[in-house]
C-alpha cells in the first residue's frame, strides 16, 4: 500500500510540472516534494528487486519511467568528464547571483562584508554579470556599489531595473553588467514589481544572442518565517504545536505558485518571439520540475543538468533541495564547457557560474 502511495505521489509531482498553478494551485505544492518522491520510488524499486517478490518493483519502475521528464531534472550526474572554467578569447563567462542586496540587510552595516562581495565579483570577472536583489540609492543608481563593480570588471554597459523600495532612500532591483554593449534593451513588466530584462549581445564572429534576466515572485516568507522553519527542523513538534502557522505557509506557497505561473506564461511568450538564440538566467524562485521551470525552459538546455553535480542547491536555507536559481541556454548557439555553483556565506543564494565556448556556426 505504501508503495502504491509513493507511485501516486510521484505521478502528482509530474502533473505539477505541466498543469498551471494559476488554474490548480494545490497541485503545484507537490513540486516542492519531487526529490523526495523520486527517492521513495527508487527505494521501493531496489527493495523489491533484492527480495523474493521482484515483480513488485515494476510499480515504482513504471512510475519513474512515466515521470522521467521530471525525474531527470532533479540531479546532476556530471562527475566525470571535463569541466573547463578557463577563460579564453573564444569563451564567454556569465554569472547570475542573487546577492541579497550586497549586504544592505545586515544590521549594523558591515563594511568589511561588503568589501568581500566586491572582491569576490572582481575575482570572478564575468563577461556578463546578473545580480537580482541589487541595491542602489534613489538619488544615484551608480551608488553604493555599481561604480566600483564597473571599474573592477571594466564593464562597458550597466543596466538597473528597480522592482521594489527598501526605504525612502534605497531601490532594490536587478542589475546587469556587461563587457559587450546591449542592443535593443527592454524591460518587460510581468506583474506588479516583477520585471524581465532583455538585451541583444553581438559576440565575436558576428553572432547575436538575446539574453533575458529574470527575478520572479518569491514564496513570500519573511526572515521571521525562515527562522521559524529553521527552528522547526531542530524541534519537530513545533509544526504540530502551531498548526495555524503551517497553514499560513501553505497559503503563501499556493499564492506564489499561481503568481509565478502567470509571470512565466508572459515571459515565455516574449522569449519565444526572439529572432535570436536565447539565454535565460536569474532567480526563478521555483524548483526543477515545477510549472515555472518547465514553461520557461521550454526546449532549452539547463546548464546545471549539462555540467552540474548532485542536487545543485542554490538557496542556502530551509532545505538542501532548493535549486531555485537557473540558467537555460540554446545549445545550437553556445557550447557549455564549464559550470560551477559554489557555496558562499556572502548571500543566502549561491552564484551560478557558466563558461561557454562561442561556436563560430550554429550546430544542427
CATH number at residue 313: 3.60.10.10
Helix, strand and coil percent figures for the chain, each rounded to 5: 40, 25, 35
Of the candidates 336, 329, 333, the one whose C-alpha atom is nearest the C-alpha of residue 354 is: 336
d(CA 326, CA 303): 8
Output the pLDDT for position 364.
44
Question: Which residues does the chain have with pLDDT short of 50?
Answer: 362-364
Please report which helix (H) or strand (E) contains residue 137, including its range.
strand 128-137
Residues 189 and 282 occupy one common structural domain: yes
Output the pLDDT for position 362.
47
Output the pLDDT for position 56.
87
Q: pTM score, two decimals?
A: 0.91
Residues 279 and 138 occupy one common structural domain: yes
**Which phi and psi angles does 56 have, rounded to 5°?**
-70, -20
Residues 346 and 209 occupy one common structural domain: yes
Residues 262 and 121 occupy one common structural domain: yes
Contact (Cβ atoms closer than 8 angstroms) between residue 330 and residue 279: yes
Residues 25 and 113 occupy one common structural domain: no
Is 79 inside a domain boundary? no
Using DSSP, state whether 321 is helix, strand or coil: coil
Is 189 inside a domain boundary? yes
Is 83 inside a domain boundary? no
Is 364 inside a domain boundary? no
The one-character DSSP state at 315 is B
Residues 134 and 14 occupy one common structural domain: no
Output the pLDDT for position 246.
60
Output the pLDDT for position 360.
52
Residues of the domain holding 15: 2-72
Task: Enter the C-alpha cell of residue 90.
Answer: 573564444
Residues 64 and 175 occupy one common structural domain: no
Using DSSP, state whether 106 is helix, strand or coil: coil
Residues 22 and 154 occupy one common structural domain: no
Residues 67 and 100 occupy one common structural domain: no
Output the pLDDT for position 203.
87
Amino acid at each position: 500500500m505504501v508503495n502504491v502511495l509513493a507511485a501516486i505521489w510521484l505521478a502528482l509531482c509530474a502533473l505539477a510540472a505541466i498543469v498551471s498553478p494559476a488554474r490548480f494551485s494545490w497541485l503545484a505544492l507537490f513540486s516542492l516534494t519531487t526529490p523526495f518522491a523520486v527517492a521513495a520510488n527508487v527505494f521501493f524499486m531496489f527493495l523489491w528487486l533484492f527480495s523474493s517478490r521482484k515483480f513488485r518493483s515494476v510499480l515504482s519502475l513504471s512510475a519513474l519511467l512515466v515521470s522521467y521528464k521530471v525525474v531527470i531534472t532533479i540531479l546532476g550526474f556530471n562527475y566525470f568528464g571535463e569541466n573547463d572554467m578557463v577563460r579564453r578569447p573564444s569563451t564567454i563567462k556569465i554569472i547570475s547571483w542573487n546577492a541579497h542586496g550586497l549586504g544592505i540587510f545586515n544590521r549594523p552595516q558591515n563594511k568589511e562584508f561588503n568589501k568581500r562581495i566586491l572582491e569576490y565579483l572582481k575575482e570572478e570577472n564575468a563577461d556578463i554579470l546578473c545580480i537580482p536583489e541589487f541595491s542602489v540609492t534613489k538619488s544615484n543608481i551608480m551608488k553604493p556599489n555599481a561604480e566600483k563593480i564597473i571599474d573592477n570588471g571594466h564593464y562597458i554597459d550597466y543596466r538597473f531595473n528597480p522592482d521594489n523600495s527598501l526605504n525612502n532612500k534605497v531601490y532594490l532591483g536587478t542589475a546587469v553588467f556587461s563587457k559587450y554593449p546591449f542592443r535593443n534593451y527592454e524591460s518587460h513588466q510581468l506583474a506588479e514589481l516583477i520585471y524581465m530584462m532583455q538585451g541583444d549581445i553581438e559576440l565575436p564572429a558576428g553572432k547575436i544572442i538575446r539574453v533575458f534576466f529574470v527575478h520572479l515572485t518569491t514564496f513570500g516568507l519573511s526572515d521571521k518565517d525562515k527562522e521559524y522553519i529553521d527552528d522547526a527542523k531542530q524541534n519537530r513538534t513545533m509544526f504540530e504545536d502551531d498548526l495555524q502557522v503551517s497553514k499560513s505557509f501553505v497559503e503563501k506557497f499556493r499564492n506564489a505558485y499561481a503568481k509565478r505561473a502567470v509571470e512565466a506564461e508572459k515571459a515565455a511568450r516574449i522569449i519565444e518571439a526572439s529572432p535570436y538564440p536565447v539565454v535565460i538566467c536569474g532567480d526563478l524562485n521555483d524548483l526543477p520540475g515545477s510549472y515555472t521551470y518547465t514553461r520557461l525552459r521550454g526546449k532549452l538546455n539547463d546548464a546545471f543538468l549539462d555540467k552540474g553535480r548532485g542536487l545543485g542547491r542554490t538557496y542556502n536555507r530551509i532545505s538542501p533541495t532548493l535549486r531555485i536559481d537557473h540558467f537555460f541556454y540554446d545549445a545550437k548557439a553556445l557550447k557549455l564547457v564549464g559550470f560551477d555553483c559554489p557555496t558562499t556565506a556572502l548571500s543566502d543564494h549561491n552564484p551560478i557560474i557558466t563558461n561557454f565556448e562561442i561556436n563560430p556556426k550554429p550546430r544542427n
